[in-house]
Amino acid sequence: MIIVDKLCYSSRLRYMNAGEKFAFAIITLLICVVSRSILCAAVILAATAILTVKIGGIPLSRYRTLMAVPLTFILLSTLAIIVNFSHTPLDAFAIPLGSIYVTGSWHGIYRAFQLIITAMAAVSCLYFLSLNTPMTDILEVLRRLRCPLLFIELMMLIYRFLFVLLEIASSITTSQRSRLGNKDLKTAYHSFSNMVSVLFVRAIKKSNALFDAMESRCYDGRIRVLNETFPPKAKEIIAIVCFEVFLLICIIGGKLLL
């Protein structure tokens, strides 16, 4: 199983109403992205981490590893905001390099920090949803929100094929390693290209077999699955509303302080 999918089924928040978790994650994400408030983003980061690790029971090491992946890409992408090449040194730092300077400004550093913490807070909202809610429950929420059925079924089929393709790729990779298919860089590239080509052919065969199986079971254009329903609780709804109001207060307070 994909590690995120495995963790969401073991989460203690898995039995919380999916609509509440979906609303909390999406509303919080929108507030974070629209406001671009550092204080708001810091509160969101702390709240989602506590909910996921402390209350949900997701191991801290796993959560830290998952958060480190997007953080690496975000840090690399914000270097362009911090570092500039100019003939005129800026106020934060300036490293002479011939006739030009590798330089940066305090304003650029502030904007980069704002972008990093906002992006990480938005990612933490999505991790809260994905680490505590099975995919079938998320699709059921989208269905109740009247999302197009074609869109939902495509998501379901893609989600299913992720596991199928990962299983096939894992088997092929294991077979290649047992035959020293990665003994050097040239051989590794050749093995990888062979694995991709075989995976493509297998994916087409699997998709045809899946469609034939669906047709033999009277597929009428809609995939129906059984879903567990957990009723919403008033105290959880009140807690979500209070948290969103608190975020708005943080945004207003941060602007007043500035």
Give the Å distances, CA to CA, from 92 to 83, 100, 109, 111.
10, 16, 8, 13
> Dmax of the chain from CA atoms?
73
Residue 120 pLDDT > 90, yes or no? yes
150 — pLDDT class (breaks 50, 70, 90): confident
Q: What is the predicted pLDDT for the residue at 257?
A: 67
Cα dihedral 53/57/63/66 (nearest 10): -130
Span 33-61, average pLDDT: 91
Q: What is the predicted pLDDT for the residue at 89?
A: 77
Best-predicted range by mean pLDDT (119-123, 192-196, 205-209): 119-123
Nearest to 10 by CA among 70, 53, 47, 39: 53
Residue 232 pLDDT > 60, yes or no? yes
Residue type, 74: I
The residues, ordered by sequence, that sit 6+ positions from 91 with a Cβ below 8 Å of its Cβ are: 105, 106
Q: What is the predicted pLDDT for the residue at 258?
A: 60
Best-predicted range by mean pLDDT (34-38, 102-106, 203-207, 222-226): 34-38
d(CA 18, CA 22): 6
Contact present, 173 and 203 (Cβ < 8 Å): no
What is the per-residue pLDDT across 67-103, written as a single tens digit (0 to 9) for each?
998 998 888 888 878 887 777 777 777 888 777 878 8
Best-predicted range by mean pLDDT (108-112, 210-214, 215-219): 108-112
Span 165-184, average pLDDT: 80
Query: Poorest-confidence range of 125-134, 176-185, 215-224?
Result: 215-224
pTM: 0.81
